[in-house]
Structure 1
């Protein structure tokens, strides 16, 4: 089994002792400043800030290498670190390095950004504790900590400000920071704060963005994008010396009980934090699926799927991301999961080739006026998906059912459609005109009698490597949101558990993949009205 230290993205340079360039001495100055700081909870003599060797190497690597003009080479740091490795105290110290330390810029603006007020408050208290622990700093700054007002630390002599902000505090455009610390990016609800801060950094030269986060869930979020870009730099897929990837993450297939994996993923364990005994107690206990996933995500930095009880392993699902070949005039089964007039509607067309490969073409609909609002609610980039053609944004603030109807007519004109299967909820406005057209419209019951065997067939196709979905990002998100309920008789049904995400595309998929997979391209059940009525109900 490949160990973490052999991974192509593992930051081996932290431990290998290779020289780190520091021609101008900025790396040494940064280290000296952090050693000068105190921390109220430090166990070292004089409450000195604990700058362990692994962390010192990181600081030197960020601030030492410079261009000939003295400007910093590193512009973005992506630090993926499990919980308990003193990420917040490190982040606070780096923020102070740019506020009162040698990296400060006169009249500069340093920002400590968090997802919400609660996390921002934790970050502020950490920075404030470091400030108050050393009298020389406390006497040189002004602290603004009034209730319901901006929390700031100001170095008055040079008018440098460190402000802690959150994503739920309204717009943050108009800022011109020279330093941003993005704390726990994996829980940021949307892209807006990130975009505002990134655009602010772009206004000036020699700025620095530090992302310090634990692993998250799902791939439709700003954290996944940044981590995935950092992985590409770490592997050498992208040559970008301005990005420094520091990725402490275990492989998804790693043995989560292996102490060697724990130590490789958690650089602080060698120095007494987090608690090794705590790891052992957690690993020794009988773990539910939820607890095991929590252990993997928070202690081993394994990026998880959106659902806490996934239907299938999304890595297996992703093997079907190859291009879906056009299948004009071929037998086709269509599933439609209609929504209310203001939510997501999914249409999935399924085909099966002679080798038993089931391919799907997916498309979605949302009201154009609600794209951003629904994107904020669900935490996904609906406007971007619409621009990329994965989603049709119908004019207005309700779905234009006529657009859905027309899309289905186009599919029927292009393919040999055997069945148009509808979840009957909210579907009548679309079903009625298609019935009038003489198209093979069916309603499909959503209970376990229909769904459980269909899920078995869908699972068999996916796990067997016979499912092709073209890498459609919205469909993948729907599948990642699935949770499975199993009753006492072993019957399974699909739901979204506690997730706020949608599963509409997955519902439309199980409706038709099982039909396509089980059918030998023979005539549809529609051709036997009595059988269709008994199994599905005919509209």
Structure 2
């Protein structure tokens, strides 16, 4: 049976239900069949090169397994892997014979031979290319990129056909006949790929990448290539603010036949459990594990992982993301569900002449200082923030925090204050001017007493009612829980301020022995100052009530309870 015949049979098995697959996997199959049929038309810009699929299959046979029960046996690609490979390599442009797909997104659970498959792709292009190829294998951490690189090295070392046709030197593989190279790349060495004209970029475990900087460096360097290939391969993750989730949402729309989004340059396949699937039902496991769930040893490994997750709840998040390949929208110990927060976003909100509770988190003078604004409404609360950073610290923070501070400044969510430290008088004047400009009625200014005595005195002199918000569990636990509950119930709105969304996405809650909670700056790896400022304001704003008669706000201070 030819490779194409095997792929067609596999597609039939998926669509007829003989092989269980998730809806997005089925969409990928339907897309392939439609694209193949379209290629038969004279007016199609693409054609299908069946021989390329055979070539890739036989190239894989040159590799041998280097460990496990299949050690020293040739690599026989599964039907699932053949489906992916014919999509990547067989669709070509009639205009110049180049590959149709320039980007590839593959999401499947761990232990499904991804490193080995990527090694075959990287070596196939570099060894057989007519021109010098540069393949970069990019992980966020060095050990991630090294894992795929080592799979490439071990794979080509296992091939007798390639004896004497390559060498490893200075941490990279060099091919003799065309001088192509395969290089591991991480964020510590990201400059390696910049301007070096990469032809292949392999981004491994993209969910772990905190920013898109490595992806962007590779992508920007490919502009001069005739047929570049950017491959993202990953499991699901648990931080929806990272670039991988954005990419996941985008390719999901490409696959969805009911969505108007189209991209002829982008191949994607996602293997995950569908919403509502029972994780204890072993028949569902193949949806996320198209290779592991096809043999008994693999199934037993999943059973073991599930037993551990059921016995130790803290392990369940890892099981859902790594084994069931489901995006879980909360960090370990995370305070707020990113999906719930995003669901509260509104396009705009006219808060002119609203009553407002102001919270401030001054932090250190060289760090982020934030003001939070909570507006009681007839449905609950509207929240906003504004943050401040010293001008001389901006460049350092841009590199260290890996967030787009410049863009945030342009959007008006963040201001830069003159000098090397935050000028609190600048913050004071900004708050006063903002209140006057919007006609807000400031009810209270709520502040963390640490380092804020002079600030509170100054604001009192300006006519504000300033209330100290002690930062212990006794003061913060109930408001912190109540604010989250209000978000989850849809009783909070915000206008999509990325700084505030970033802060709540970063926030980790710490808990005492009585299950009281508060946001923890020590446990939160990234900045939470805007979120802390909003919670400070909410400590008092939660007691505000809307008088539906005349629209005025009455309130009870927490200090009166």
Q: CA deviation at 1:483?
A: 2.9
Shift of residue 14, structure 1, vs aligned partner: 4.4
Aligned: 1:37 with 2:52: no
Contact (CA 8 Å) 2:65, 2:72: kept in 1 or not? no
Range that drifts further, 240-249 or 45-54:
45-54
Q: Provide the rounded CA distance (Å) in 2 between the counterparts of 1:197 and 1:279.
A: 35
In the alignment, which residue of structure 1 is the partner of 2:358? Answer: 334
Superposition map of 1:447-486 within 5 A = 447-486=472-511
Q: Secondary structure at the match of 1:169?
A: helix
Q: Distance in 1 between matches of 2:513 and 2:72?
A: 61
Cα distance, 1:324 vs structure 2: 4.2
Question: Which residue in the other structure is 1:27 paired with?
Answer: 53
Matched residues in 2 for 1:374 and 1:10: separation?
41
Equivalent residues of 2:293, 2:299 under 8 A apart: no
Partner of 1:245: 268
Which of 227, 235, 258 does residue 248 from structure 2 map onto? 227
CA distance in 2, matches of 1:253, 1:388: 39
The 2-side partners of 1:124 and 1:7 are apart by 30
* Structure 1 residue 268 corresponds to structure 2 residue 291: yes
Displacement of 1:391: 2.1
CA displacement, residues 371-394 of structure 1 (integer Å, 9 cap, x when unaligned): 453344344333333333322233
* Residues 88 and 387 of structure 1, relative CA distance in 2, 3 Å threshold: farther
Cross-structure match for 1:160: 180
SS of equivalent residue, structure 2 residue 356: strand
CA distance in 2, matches of 1:16, 1:244: 10
CA shift for structure 1 position 366: 2.3
Q: Distance in 2 between matches of 1:489 and 1:86?
A: 45
In the TM superposition, what is the alpha-carbon distance from 1:237 to its structure 2 partner? 4.2
Asked if the contact 2:132/2:180 (under 8 Å) is kept, the reply is yes
2:316 matches 1:292: yes
Aligned residue in 1 for 2:111:
84
Structure 2 distance, partners of 1:496, 1:89, is 40
Q: State the partner residue of 1:177.
A: 198
1:394 corresponds to 2:417: yes
Q: Of 338, 342, 348, which aligns to 1:318?
A: 342
Question: What runs of 5+ residues in structure 1 fail to find an aligned partner?
Answer: 145-149
Cα separation, 2, equivalents of 1:338 and 1:59 = 54
Task: Say whether residues 1:503 and 2:531 are aligned partners.
Answer: no
**RMSD of the alignment, in Å?**
2.9
Query: How far apart, in 2, do the equivalents of 1:260 and 1:114 lie?
Result: 32
Match of 1:349 in 2: 373
Hey, what does 2:153 align to over in structure 1? 128
Asked whether the equivalents of residues 317 and 463 of structure 1 are also in contact (C-alpha less than 8 Å), the reply is yes
Aligned partner of 1:49 in structure 2 is 75
Cα gap change, 1:346 to 1:16, in 2 (>3 Å): closer
Distance 1:372 1:249, change over 3 A: farther
Aligned length: 521
- 2:206–2:244: 8 Å Cα contact kept in structure 1? yes
Deviation at 1:219, TM superposition (A): 3.2
Identify the residue that residue 302 of structure 1 maps to in structure 2.
326
> Could you say what secondary structure the match of 1:98 adopts?
helix
Aligned partner of 2:171 among 109, 127, 151: 151
Instruction: For 2:410 and 2:332, locate their aligned partners in 1 and report how far apart those are by CA, in whole Å.
Output: 30
The answer as to whether partners of 1:220 and 1:381 remain within 8 angstroms in 2 is no
- The alignment status of 1:409 with 2:436, answered yes or no, reads no
TM-score (norm 1): 0.88
Distance 1:523 1:63, change over 3 A: closer
**From 447, 463, 471, the counterpart of 1:446:** 471
Counterparts of 1:4-23 in structure 2, within 5 Å, are 9-14=24-29, 18=33, 20=36, 23=48
Determine the C-alpha separation between the residues in 2 that align with 1:132 and 1:298: 30
For 2:446 and 2:350, the matched residues in 1 are separated by: 21
User: Where in structure 2 are there 5+ consecutive unaligned residues?
Assistant: 1-16, 40-46, 547-551
1:141 aligned partner: 166
Deviation digits for residues 268-304 of structure 1 (CA, Å, limit 9, x no counterpart): 1343387211221222344444211111111122223
**Compared with structure 1, are the counterparts of its residues 76 and 504 closer, same or farther at alpha carbon in structure 2 (3 Å cutoff)?**
same
Q: Give the structure 2 partner of residue 491 of structure 1.
A: 516
Contact kept in structure 1, 2:165 and 2:175, CA below 8 Å:
yes
- Seen in structure 2, the aligned counterparts of structure 1 residues 234 and 76 have a Cα distance that, compared at 3 Å, is same
3-state secondary structure, aligned to 1:84: coil
Q: Which residue of 2 aligns with 1:147?
A: none
Contact kept? 1:324, 1:468, Cα under 8 Å: no
Greater CA drift, 65-74 or 255-264: 255-264
